[in-house]
């Protein structure tokens, strides 16, 4: 027979109580409550302390955004017509120029018509307008592609009724690629080409086809927006205005 001391009995009872309490189901009581809506409108008085705190930063930012960096010779709309838009052509031309500064072997550029967010009005171009045009934190990217890759890209451009490009010509009929040229020459499947775009598209953004498996990819530290600002400032220093024209980069055959 096992004899337990009173101390041992108390320890056993405490252990059993703890074990049973741990397994016990807990029931939570729901309390009724009343919801209410807080209307945020002009009736709410501004917090003067907060306004005073941010005022210097706001003024400094506004001064930077209002800085005029160039002149647009005409309005450059972003909405395409027959595969092209003046805003898209300007954007692609700028990309190509920036890409060739990074690598002189870059021969063509690519953007997307939905990546350009606003029209560029005629007259003064302010820094803030470039932020509106390209508000994303995208970086310039140079891709080395095969001729077959470029033809696949050309078919994508065809079935989407044209995209902003420069350094290339794409002929389309019934949303199918008829011909594609780079710097005036038909694309050769056996050659390689360097294209400048930006990392969002190189990563598959906007469902781009033909550039997802490049032979080589070079991601730069240059934001597209910063590049555009520098490009426009460069034109201004040369006494040139920001402008674009329709040409044979996208040809839609009826």
> pLDDT tens-digit profile of 164-184?
999 999 999 999 999 999 999
Task: Tell me how far apart the 2 most distant CA atoms of the chain are, in Å.
Answer: 110
Extents of the domains making up the chain: 62-244
What burial letters (b/e) apply to 180-192, b meaning 16+ CB within 10 Å?
bbbeeeebeeeee
Residue labelled with tokens 């941010």: 54
Phi-psi region of 167 (alpha: psi -120 to 50; beta: other; left: phi over 0): left
Segment 140-154 mean pLDDT: 98
pLDDT at residue 40, as a whole number: 81
Is the pTM of the predicted complex or chain greater than 0.85?
Answer: no
pLDDT band at 77 (very low <50, low <70, confident <90, very high): very high
Decide if 110 contacts 195 (C-beta within 8 A).
yes
Mean pLDDT of the chain: 90
pLDDT at residue 2, as a whole number: 43
pLDDT at residue 8, as a whole number: 52
pLDDT of 10 above 60: no
Polymer length of the chain: 254
Q: Are strands 192-198 and 106-110 parallel, antiparallel or unpaired?
A: parallel
- Report CA 154 to chain centroid distance, whole Å: 21
Range from 22-31, 150-159, 204-213 carrying the lowest mean pLDDT: 22-31
Backbone angles phi, psi at 247, to 5 degrees: -145, -155
pLDDT band at 37 (very low <50, low <70, confident <90, very high): confident
Percent of the chain with pLDDT over 90: 75
In three-state secondary structure terms, 92 is helix
**pLDDT tens profile 45-64:** 888 888 889 888 888 999 99
Class of domain 62-244: alpha beta
User: Helices marked H in the chain — which ranges?
Assistant: 6-23, 48-65, 86-102, 127-133, 147-159, 199-202, 224-237
pLDDT at residue 44, as a whole number: 82
pLDDT at residue 26, as a whole number: 60
pLDDT at residue 27, as a whole number: 61
């Amino acid at each position: 027979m096992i004899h337990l001391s009173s101390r041992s009995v108390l320890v056993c009872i405490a252990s059993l109580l703890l074990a049973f309490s741990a397994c016990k189901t807990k029931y939570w009581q729901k309390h009724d409550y009343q919801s209410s809506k807080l209307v945020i409108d002009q009736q709410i008085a501004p917090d003067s302390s907060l306004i005073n705190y941010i005022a210097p930063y706001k003024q400094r930012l506004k001064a930077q955004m209002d800085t005029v960096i160039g002149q647009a010779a005409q309005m450059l709309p972003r909405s395409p017509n027959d595969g092209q838009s003046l805003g898209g052509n300007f954007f692609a031309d700028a990309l190509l120029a920036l890409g060739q500064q990074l690598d002189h072997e870059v021969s063509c550029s690519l953007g997307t018509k939905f990546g350009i967010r606003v029209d560029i009005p005629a007259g003064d171009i302010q820094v803030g307008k470039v932020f509106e045009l390209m508000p994303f934190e995208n970086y310039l990217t140079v891709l080395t592609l095969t001729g077959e890759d470029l033809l696949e890209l050309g078919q994508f451009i065809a079935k989407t009724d044209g995209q902003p490009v420069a350094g290339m010509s794409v002929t389309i009929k019934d949303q199918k690629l008829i011909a594609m040229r780079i710097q005036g020459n038909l694309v050769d499947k056996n050659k390689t080409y360097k294209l400048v775009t930006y990392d969002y598209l190189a990563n598959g953004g906007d469902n781009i086809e033909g550039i997802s498996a490049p032979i080589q990819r070079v991601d730069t530290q240059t934001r597209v927006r910063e590049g555009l600002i520098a490009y426009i400032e460069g034109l201004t220093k040369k006494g040139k205005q920001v402008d674009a024209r329709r040409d044979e980069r996208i040809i839609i055959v009826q």
